[in-house]
Amino acid sequence: MTIAELLREGRLELVPPDGEVARAILAEARRHLDSAAKVAGTDPNGAYALLYDGARKAVTAHMLANGYRVRPRSGAHPAVVGYAEEALAAGPAGPHLGHLDRMRRNRNRSEYDVRIFGEAEVAGDLEHARHVVAAVEAALEATA
């Protein structure tokens, strides 16, 4: 879905841009990735939840810095993915965004069903998440 469609459907809303809060959310996203790397060998499912949340929070930070916020309702995480697929596609995160929705679905299966992650899968998706976070960091630095 496009950002315009997400706005029309009420899944995103316009808010005043807030770079300060966006940078705080981005710092938390970075901490999630660091934590995921530390626990990946002993708690791969916990690491996966952290790496997905890190990528999602980075996109949320980008949204806020640009005057958008996801509405707190069912379908919020897919709306974040939809925003990312449009807003970040042209930048360095572009090749990694195709993995974001799969990561969302995997994390969801782990949360609400049984889904066990292997070491290679965690490592691969942690790398995708790192690229998303780095792209958002670069975008926010460029506007600071």
Q: What is the pTM of this model?
A: 0.93
What secondary structure does DSSP assign to the chain, as a single string? --HHHHHHTTSEEE----HHHHHHHHHHHHHHHHHHHHHTTT-HHHHHHHHHHHHHHHHHHHHHHTTEEE-SSTTHHHHHHHHHHHHSTTSTTHHHHTTHHHHHHHHHHHHHS--PPPHHHHHHHHHHHHHHHHHHHHHHHHH-
| Domains, in order of start, for the chain | 3-143 (1.20.120.330)
pLDDT by residue, tens only, the chain of 144 residues: 899 999 999 999 999 999 999 999 999 999 999 999 999 999 999 999 999 999 999 999 999 999 999 998 888 888 999 999 999 988 888 888 888 989 998 898 888 888 889 989 999 999 999 999 999 999 999 886
